[in-house]
């Protein structure tokens, strides 16, 4: 079972693909269109999504087959996904399946420290990853579920530079001053 067309689409391109409707309706519908970019053979299983006429038309226009009904089981074996079983009807054979995830940040440490949250309920940061708590930076997926590896690594780099600029340089100077006995020469 896959989640991301950018992470896994290429590997399953041009095969019989399926997209199962998840809790986030808009995400699921977009995901079906994204997966369609990887294969001409895509089935969308709305599952518990009651498609509106326009949504149905957009899928059909792109050649996405819609199979209504509640998904009851993903059939798989040691080679991977074999297909999808619905409450009624035969198994629909598929080589790979995608489903919309629910993004949940592992931010217990940050919330326990009292970091402020943004409107979406994720820890709020500035563009360097700086949180509302002095000295605490949070880069990557813990604050941004859209970050791919390269973005998360770049955010980590920006946070490290900001930390060094804001704290570590000053700490070096303070430490040096504490052990410094001679006054600075006057100009």
Ligand X SMILES: Cc1cc2nc3c(=O)[nH]c(=O)nc-3n(C[C@H](O)[C@H](O)[C@H](O)COP(=O)(O)OP(=O)(O)OC[C@H]3O[C@@H](n4cnc5c(N)ncnc54)[C@H](O)[C@@H]3O)c2cc1C
What is the closest distance, in whole angstroms, from the C-beta atom of residue 82 to ligand X in the complex?
A: 20
Q: Which is nearer to ligand X, 4 or 173 (CB)?
A: 4
Task: Considering only residues 4 through 23, tell me which ones interact with ligand X, judged by CB under 6 A.
Answer: 4, 7
Q: Which is nearer to ligand X, 46 or 140 (CB)?
A: 140
Binding status of residue 109 toward ligand X by CB under 6 A: yes
| Separation in Å, CA 129 to CA 126, 139, 168 | 5, 5, 16
Contact between 84 and 94 under an 8 Å Cβ cutoff? The reply is yes
Binding status of residue 140 toward ligand X by CB under 6 A: yes
Q: Which is nearer to ligand X, 5 or 46 (CB)?
A: 5
Region of 34 please: left (phi>0), alpha (psi -120 to 50) or beta: alpha
Number of residues that bind ligand X (CB under 6 A): 13
Binding status of residue 106 toward ligand X by CB under 6 A: yes
Contact between 67 and 74 under an 8 Å Cβ cutoff? The reply is no
Q: Which two tokens stand for residue 145?
A: 């579920």
Binding status of residue 146 toward ligand X by CB under 6 A: no
């Amino acid at each position: 079972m896959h989640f991301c067309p950018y992470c896994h689409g290429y590997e399953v391109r041009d095969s019989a693909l399926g997209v199962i409707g998840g809790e986030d309706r808009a995400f699921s519908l977009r995901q079906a269109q994204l997966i369609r970019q990887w294969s001409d053979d895509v089935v969308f299983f709305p599952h518990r999504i009651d498609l509106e006429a326009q949504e149905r038309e957009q899928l059909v226009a792109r050649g996405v087959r819609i199979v209504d009904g509640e998904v009851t089981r993903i059939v798989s074996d040691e080679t991977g996904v074999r297909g999808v079983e619905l409450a009624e009807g035969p198994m629909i054979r598929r080589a790979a399946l995608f489903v919309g995830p629910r993004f949940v940040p592992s931010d217990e440490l940050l919330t326990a420290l009292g970091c402020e949250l943004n409107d979406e309920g994720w820890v709020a940061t500035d563009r360097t990853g700086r949180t509302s708590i002095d000295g605490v930076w949070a880069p990557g997926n813990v604050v941004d579920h859209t970050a791919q590896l390269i973005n998360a690594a770049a955010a980590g780099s920006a946070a490290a530079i900001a930390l060094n600029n804001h704290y570590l340089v000053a700490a070096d100077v303070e430490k040096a001053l504490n052990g410094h006995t001679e006054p600075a020469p006057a100009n």
